[in-house]
Amino acid sequence: MSGLVRLNSKALLVRNLIQHSARNARLISSSQKNRDAATIDASKKIAAKPAEPAAAVSTNKNWVSYGFDYKDEATDRNATKSSFFFSVTVCLVFGTFYWCYLPDPQLRDWAQREAYLELRRREAAGLEPISKDFIDPSQITLPSDEELGNTEVVI
């Protein structure tokens, strides 16, 4: 959004520079008096272009631009407010709302629910909640004492 506003403001800036340079051209004078400096009004030679409306000219001398438009205070304020509206309201507020109500991507709720169901099933069957033999001991082959030798066994 801000890129479009800046692109538009750069096009306006180029247009204003061209119009401004076509309006007045100053000549260098060697005279010591400022009133003797000659100026040429180029607008008489070039077709007169309509002046910008008075509303477009900023009346506040202490105005500092937010960076969206350097010429017009109203356009700068509107672009700033719309950028903040879209970035804060749409992205942060609605984005957070969407993120909070997404389904559980890592299935934590599902895993906890399955664990409770398994515990309830084992209690109803009279089994221990967690079996000490997760893997059937007949399927495990352990090395003999001769194969271990002097290796320290940590349990």
Residues 124-151, mean pLDDT to the nearest whole number: 89
HSE on the CB side for 93, CA within 13 Å?
7
- Portion of the chain with pLDDT greater than 90, in percent: 30
> Closest Cα partner for 115 from 105, 103, 123?
123
| Residue length of the chain | 155
- pLDDT per residue as tens digits for the range 44-76: 655 555 555 555 554 678 899 999 999 999 999
Taking the whole predicted model, whether its pTM rises above 0.75 is answered as: no
> Closest Cα partner for 39 from 31, 27, 30, 48?
27
- pLDDT per residue as tens digits for the range 83-115: 999 988 888 999 999 999 988 888 888 999 999
State residue 49's pLDDT score.
Answer: 55
- Going by the DSSP 8-state scheme, the letter that residue 127 receives in this structure is -
pLDDT exceeds cutoff 80 at 82: yes
Q: Which residues have C-beta within 8 Å of that of residue 13, sequence separation ≥ 6?
A: 70, 71
Domain ranges of the chain: 1-24+39-125
- Using 50, 70 and 90 to split pLDDT, how confident is the model at 79? very high
- Using 50, 70 and 90 to split pLDDT, how confident is the model at 12? low
- Using 50, 70 and 90 to split pLDDT, how confident is the model at 39? low
State residue 18's pLDDT score.
Answer: 63
